[in-house]
Chains A and B, each alone.
Chain A
Amino acid sequence: MIRVREKYGDRMTALESSYLTETLKGLSITLRHFLENTLTRKNTVTLNYPEEKKPYPERFRGLHRLMKRDDGQVRCVACMCCATVCPAHCIKIEAGEHDDHRIEKFPIEFSIDWLRCVYCGLCVDACPCDAIRMDTGEHPKPQIDRNGFLTTKIDLMKLGGPSVAVQGGVRPDNGEG
């Protein structure tokens, strides 16, 4: 147990209550910072945004992207796990039958409402196919109207790249028969 008044002092000393010493002490601190910042910028923490930008950390959950298969098709198989787990209900998927029987199912439409999204990352956790990721390192850009934040499969795939993960439906040993 620490008694804070004992540690930090209870009453003002005569010197302190004269305003002068404490004010000068404070001024010396701010003056030092002022000189440091104008002359050297060594200890400056501010950035000249937008000329200077601070990169987001690796784990930053930014805009979603849809990953692609080796042949450039969307990796997502419309399993709806992300739509199920999303606390903001911002993912809408319409599933369809794929011509290729090895893929079988794919999203005809996959849209995310970036205004509703809370960037919690649960959809990435829930994806069993490494199809959706939030590692673009970008935040949503301002838009003129709400529809601008309603992102479609095409836009999400533009942000996407090839995935290195080996996916369940298609395994290395998945030959025919």
Chain B
Amino acid sequence: MATPETARDPLDVDDLPMEPMVLKMGPSHPTMHGVIELTLRLDGETVRAADVEIGYLHRGFEKMGEVSTWNQVFAYADRLNYNSPMLNELGYAMAVEKLMGVDVPERAQFLRVIASEISRICDHLTCVGAGAMELGAFTAFLYAVKAREFLYELLEKISGHRLTVNYMRVGGVWLDMPDGWDGAVRQALTDAAGVMREFHKLVTRHRIFFDRMEGVGIISQEDALAWGFTGPCLRSTGIDYDIRKAHPYSCYDRFDFDIPVGDKGDNYDRYLIRLEEIEQSRRIIEQAFDRMPGGPVVSSDPRVALPEKGPVYNTIESMMNHFKLVYDGIRVPPGAVYSFSEAANGELGFYIVADGTGKPYRVRVRGPVFAIMQALPQMLIGGMIADIVPTFDGINMIAGELDR
């Protein structure tokens, strides 16, 4: 890493005055994972100051939530962190269920965890793959995308869509897994693991990659905490904080998995953590399939879940129940809760307020990346302009959950 001291020779300055330069990077620079704008003040190639301007992808999620029914919000929640829609849905569903006090059936919990972990793997694959590509390893990126493709197909099989899944509902999930899905998941995970081994061989120990990741974008433990880091970025500084372990939710307490942590808080740590978390997610999924209980996949509470179609077509009782849920929505009792879960980038929090009607009074999303992005200038300053790319990737900014 180029430190300010080595970046320029004081002797040169005398006869060649350095000219500070302001560079606008973005709002749609190719390496910007979403639309944001960096304003950099450069001293040669060294970043002296940086500002982040966000909000380009603000779609008014919270405002839309206030005019949607509780179940309609899932369609918007999908589009927060669009790399891992299942994790957003899980976070939102848990918040509503916490406020309502609904019990979610076992099998639905397991399906949620499996779907979420597949989403987490997808997210990490995108992050490490894109990171490799931005450092020039295009082949490696294609391998990661290939592995992700196997998983997207699984999501498509269970939910109907790859990205805009809309799979979860308050009180459970949309449908049980299709026949043979578990076998397909195990197969796909094995295939993906094979691809990832190759990916690993291609980049992890390659010196070009190593040199550009190692020691770049360092953040200390204290700083990370002060800025409100969570997720892989916090763990890269050596803190083993993972909400799945610290505050187990859904059925995570039943699975055996490890939390990877780094030492230095640099990009290489973040890369390795993501690589390792893919492995751990695989472990969770395999255990979940081994212990998958039977039973329904959505709550049997008629105030929460739509009744089955057969009775709806044929009996007035279910028909009325169906109608009330459709036009009135789920009636969530008045109150407010904050519910949080471990999304791919850290703590995804939902603070929801209900006023007893079928629509949320307020839906607040605390996206993990929002807190992390504020520290980006600190992680960039002092580094080279080329270091922006791996650091930015290591944060894994997703404009969807940053701007909401």
Which A residues fall within an 8 A CB radius of B?
1-5, 7-10, 12, 16-19, 22-23, 25-26, 29-30, 45, 56-61, 81, 84-85, 87-88, 118-122, 125-126, 128-130, 165-168, 171
Smallest Cβ distance from B244 to chain A, in angstroms? 13
A-B complex: 5 closest residue pairs judged by Cβ atoms: A4-B272, A59-B160, A87-B72, A120-B166, A120-B75
Choose from A22, A121, A126 the contact partner of B207 (Cβ within 8 Å).
Answer: A22
Inter-subunit contact A60/B314 (CB<8 Å):
no
Is A60 touching B262 in the complex (CB atoms < 8 A)?
A: no
Interface residues of B in 240-297 (CB under 8 A from A): 240, 258-264, 269, 272-273, 275-276
Q: Is B355 an interface residue (CB 8 A)?
A: no
Q: Judge whether A81 and B206 touch: CB under 8 Å.
A: no
Judge if B71 is at the interface, Cβ distance under 8 Å: yes
Flag if B207 contacts A16 (CB, 8 Å).
yes
Against A, the Cβ 8 Å flags (1 = close, 0 = not) of B297-336 are 0000000001001001110100100110011000000000
By a beta-carbon cutoff of 8 Å, the part of chain B in contact with chain A is: 68-69, 71-72, 74-76, 139, 146, 149, 153, 156-161, 164, 166, 174-175, 178, 198, 201-208, 210, 240, 258-264, 269, 272-273, 275-276, 306, 309, 312-314, 316, 319, 322-323, 326-327
Q: A42 to B174: give the CA distance in the assembly, Å.
A: 36
| B263 & A118 in contact (Cβ 8 Å cutoff) | no
Q: Do A45 and B201 form a contact, CB below 8 Å, given A4-B276, A119-B164, A125-B306? A: no
The chain B residue with its CB closest to the CB of A30 is B139
Majority secondary structure, B binding face:
helix
Residue of A at shortest CB range from B312? A128
CB nearest to B73 among chain A residues: A87
B153: chain A residues at CB < 8 Å are 57
Given A57-B157, A87-B75, A4:B261 Cβ within 8 A: yes
> Are B262's CB and A4's CB within 8 A?
yes
Are B68 and A87 in contact (CB-based, < 8 A)? yes
